[in-house]
Chains A and B, each alone.
Chain A
Amino acid sequence: MTVDPFAAAAGLVSRSAAAYASSIPESPADEGFFGPGSVAWRVSADLSSPVAGLRALLMQALHPLAMAGVDQHSDWRQDPVGRLAATNAYLATVTFGDRGSAERVSARVRRIHEHVRGVDTVTGRAYEAGDPALLLWVHATFVQSRIVTAALFGTPLAAPDSDRYVAEMVTEAELVGVPRELVPASTADLDAYIDSVRPELRGTPAARESMDYLLDPPGLDEDMGEIWQDVRDAAVASLPAWARDIYGYTSTPLTDARRAEIHQALGVLDAVFLGEPGVLEARQRIALRARAARPA
């Protein structure tokens, strides 16, 4: 079996930034599904976001059927950076767009999922991307990753805010096609759900290859490569020990100094992101909406 090599990761920041900037609306018809007072808005602006994204991918890839769907159907290997940018755009639209836009992009994702079906070569099981069980796994790992990485490397959420965030995110799962009643609505339920899926998880060759690529993407320039080491270490350190064990990753315990160093690296990465065209303006659009909603 020949395996396509992954394309280089040059443009990781610029393409993600462009996708983000163009997804933050100038004049939304309404405040969207979450709104300026939501925890979702606050969390998505957290410095830990890139680590959350990488951790989520590491977790998601452990589900063989989710991984097979990505590996066999998307242009993941040909254009991994484009794929990540598209995900970024989707998340920004669902979070900050008006309801109409969020529903439109979600409908598109559901349509694409209809054609993603096949048989996983490792487990021999058939899969469909539209299967609520797979969608829920992808959703839950993402939400948990945001909470965990914010606690470690960004601004931690207080327990009530964490619960509120999980509850807010139920809508996001529903938008891609998970029945509401299946979606965990509290932090405890979320963690319990993720534990319950553990027996199905394994590190398939596709998962290992994809994650090897993401942890050390070729084609980054030297200083971005330096920053990415911190993002990678942070994501690996934030995984549950059992998930690290599946991959065979090791992680030294995080000292306070190391966490501070990672926090700084994330600040530098954010500064680079801000330097990309349109990002500052997009952030200002969000800030102005947040300010307008703030009680005087």
Chain B
Amino acid sequence: MKKLLTAVSVVAGLAGLAVVGRRMGRLRLSRGRAALQLVIRGGLRYASSAPRLFAAAGEHRQQLRNDLALQTAEDVATTLGAMKGVLMKIGQMASYVGDGLSPAVRRTLSRLQDSVPPMSPELAAGVVREELGLPPEEAFARWDPEPIAAASIGQVHRAITHDGRAVAVKVQYPGIAETITADLGNVALLRRMLRITAPAQDVDALIAELRDRVLEELDYRREADNQRLVAAYYDGHPTIIVPKIIDELSTRRLVTSELADGARFAELAQWSQEERDLAAETIYRFTFRSLYDVHAFNGDPHPGNYLFHGGGRVTFLDFGLVKHFSTEELQPLVDMVRYLCVEQDPEGFRASMVNAGFLRPDAPLSTETVVEHMAVFYDTVRRPGPLTITGDYASAVVRRFFDVRSPLAQWVSVPRSYVILQRINLGLFAILGELTATADWRAIAEEIWPFMQGPPATPMGEAEAAWRAGRSSAAEPAA
């Protein structure tokens, strides 16, 4: 497969807001024999449970303001035109660095999201008809006209396909792509606003980047490609579940995937610590297996994108923001962790940081200072043994990340391709911290680090090793 493109990601600001983007190459998944089998197997598995899943998804329906539903494409334009749709997308991307936003900006962005009512059943049905050529009642064996959840520029409906699979259908607001495209065609305002908060940056390059990212996200086929890739990799995994995409029902403005049901993050918080630890281990494995084996990183690990099934089984949802890494991009990260945590070679660590573009070569800092300030990001994997990730640790990581008074601050920067990885620090650890999860993270990491490929460290590790051994060689790495 062709080398997947570099991500060009930027942190800039709109009203003090950080903007992060991503460039993704065209993803073409080889749909070989294995993929075909998955579809068949998926079909069988879901046929038996479709009615139950369909019903359960209804019970978990989000509270949506159907009484205020948008009824026409004109309503969509009024609600999301004049930059509001653009701001919403920027807000979603900026949640990579959520803790860096001022409370006022965060409030504005979240209220903006709340201010968008769902589509009326007729309006959503119109999109399905335009995309599939059939009204939803004919395109699907069963279609629930009331949405079960809101999505950033669309909403999710539950349905059952003609071959008996319970599915979630994400439907995009009609006209939103045109509205946002028009707003991004006139960038004078954005340019002025970005100059306020990103004076040092190349504002025009930044805007071009932002425009590319946002316009990409308006095409749901990319999201389907991402999810297809990740789902294929984890097929049969003992605890990681990624709903499969239904190809023939996924288009530019529709993405249809297997319906999943499970406990939400808030419910998991009430479960036993043992269950929480297992769920945390799965999330941890998913994050780093995806990064090192699939060369892909899901940039949107917020709590709403997980469903928990007990015994560590977790369903991962929403692949709208996936960053793909080339081997060359990944290597410096691998080197950094190896030098710092395994080789105990501070100079090697520093050299890798410089290689990756994180640290300026001429930084007048002692290597001890560099290590001292960077080590917090590696605290969970520097030493073997059980370790509990607390909310305090997660906050300390966030504070350190945004600490502009640190002696390192003026000498470090995050190259664009790595910006999304901030989410490991800011998102993943926040979630593990909320679960007060305990594990021997170092031992788990050693299983996953490509230069170690250590033995299974936990029962889940053993199950995962068995799964890996059984995977056919047809399932090649993605990049």
Residues of A with Cβ closer than 8 Å to B?
47, 222-223, 226, 230, 257-258, 260-261, 263-268, 270-272, 274-275, 279-280, 283-284, 287-288, 291
Q: State the Cβ distance, B122 to closest chain A Cβ, in Å.
A: 13
User: At the interface, yes or no: B410 with Cβ under 8 Å from chain A?
Assistant: no
Given A271-B108, A288-B68, A260 contacting B115 (CB threshold 8 A): no
Whether A257 pairs with B15 at a CB distance below 8 angstroms is no
Interface bracket on B: 20 to 34
Whether A288 pairs with B67 at a CB distance below 8 angstroms is yes
Some 21 contacts from A to B, beta carbons below 8 A apart, are A47-B82, A223-B15, A226-B192, A226-B196, A230-B189, A257-B186, A258-B188, A261-B188, A264-B82, A264-B183, A267-B81, A267-B84, A268-B189, A272-B108, A274-B111, A275-B104, A275-B108, A275-B109, A275-B111, A280-B114, A284-B65
Query: Closest chain A residue to B65 by CB distance?
Result: A284
Which residues of chain A come closer than 8 Å to B193, judged between CB atoms? 223, 226, 268
Whether B84 pairs with A270 at a CB distance below 8 angstroms is yes
Given A261-B189, A264-B183, A275 contacting B107 (CB threshold 8 A): yes
CA distance in complex: A291, B69 (Å): 10
Which residues of chain A come closer than 8 Å to B108, judged between CB atoms? 271-272, 274-275
Whether A284 pairs with B111 at a CB distance below 8 angstroms is no
User: At the interface, yes or no: B87 with Cβ under 8 Å from chain A?
Assistant: yes
Query: Closest chain A residue to B188 by CB distance?
Result: A261
Query: Closest chain B residue to A260 by CB distance?
Result: B186
Q: State the Cβ distance, A293 to closest chain B Cβ, in Å.
A: 14
Which residues of chain A come closer than 8 Å to B16, judged between CB atoms? 223
Whether B192 pairs with A271 at a CB distance below 8 angstroms is no
Whether B196 pairs with A270 at a CB distance below 8 angstroms is no
Residue among A222, A265, A267 making CB contact with B196, cutoff 8 Å: A222
Residues of B with Cβ closer than 8 Å to A?
14-16, 65, 67-68, 81-84, 87, 104, 107-109, 111-112, 114-115, 183, 186, 188-189, 192-193, 196-197
Q: State the Cβ distance, B108 to closest chain A Cβ, in Å.
A: 3
CA distance in complex: A287, B65 (Å): 12
Whether A266 pairs with B112 at a CB distance below 8 angstroms is no
Which residues of chain A come closer than 8 Å to B84, judged between CB atoms? 267, 270-271
Supply 10 further A-B pairs (C-beta < 8 A) apart from A275-B109, A291-B67: A264-B82, A267-B81, A267-B84, A270-B82, A271-B108, A271-B112, A274-B115, A275-B108, A283-B115, A288-B67
Query: Closest chain B residue to A266 by CB distance?
Result: B82
CA distance in complex: A280, B107 (Å): 12
Q: State the Cβ distance, A49 to closest chain B Cβ, in Å.
A: 13
Determine chain A's interface SS by DSSP, over half rule: helix
Which residues of chain A come closer than 8 Å to B186, judged between CB atoms? 257, 260-261, 264
Q: How many contacting A-B pairs (Cβ < 8 A)?
A: 69
Which residues of chain B come closer than 8 Å to A230, judged between CB atoms? 189
CA distance in complex: A163, B340 (Å): 75
Which residues of chain A come closer than 8 Å to B65, judged between CB atoms? 284
Determine chain B's interface SS by DSSP, over half rule: helix
Which residues of chain A come closer than 8 Å to B67, judged between CB atoms? 288, 291
Whether A257 pairs with B111 at a CB distance below 8 angstroms is no
Which residues of chain A come closer than 8 Å to B183, judged between CB atoms? 264
CA distance in complex: A55, B65 (Å): 36
Q: State the Cβ distance, B77 to closest chain A Cβ, in Å.
A: 10
**A-B interface, 4 closest residue pairs, ranked by CB to CB distance from nearest:** A267-B82, A275-B108, A267-B83, A223-B15
Q: State the Cβ distance, A231 to closest chain B Cβ, in Å.
A: 12
Which residues of chain A come closer than 8 Å to B111, judged between CB atoms? 274-275, 279-280
CA distance in complex: A14, B14 (Å): 19
Whether B196 pairs with A223 at a CB distance below 8 angstroms is yes
CA distance in complex: A171, B379 (Å): 70
* Best-surrounded residue of B68, B83, B114 (most CB of chain A within 10 A): B83
Q: State the Cβ distance, A112 to closest chain B Cβ, in Å.
A: 34
Whether B196 pairs with A268 at a CB distance below 8 angstroms is no
* Best-surrounded residue of A261, A279, A280, A288 (most CB of chain B within 10 A): A261
Query: Closest chain A residue to B16 by CB distance?
Result: A223
Which residues of chain B come closer than 8 Å to A226, judged between CB atoms? 192-193, 196
Which residues of chain B come closer than 8 Å to A223, judged between CB atoms? 14-16, 193, 196-197
Q: State the Cβ distance, B180 to closest chain A Cβ, in Å.
A: 12
Which residues of chain B come closer than 8 Å to A258, judged between CB atoms? 188
Which residues of chain A come closer than 8 Å to B115, judged between CB atoms? 274, 280, 283
Which residues of chain A come closer than 8 Å to B107, judged between CB atoms? 275
Which residues of chain A come closer than 8 Å to B14, judged between CB atoms? 223
Whether B112 pairs with A275 at a CB distance below 8 angstroms is yes
CA distance in complex: A258, B192 (Å): 13
Query: Closest chain A residue to B195 by CB distance?
Result: A226
Whether B87 pairs with A271 at a CB distance below 8 angstroms is yes
Q: State the Cβ distance, A283 to closest chain B Cβ, in Å.
A: 8
CA distance in complex: A284, B82 (Å): 19
Q: State the Cβ distance, A261 to closest chain B Cβ, in Å.
A: 5
Query: Closest chain A residue to B88 by CB distance?
Result: A271
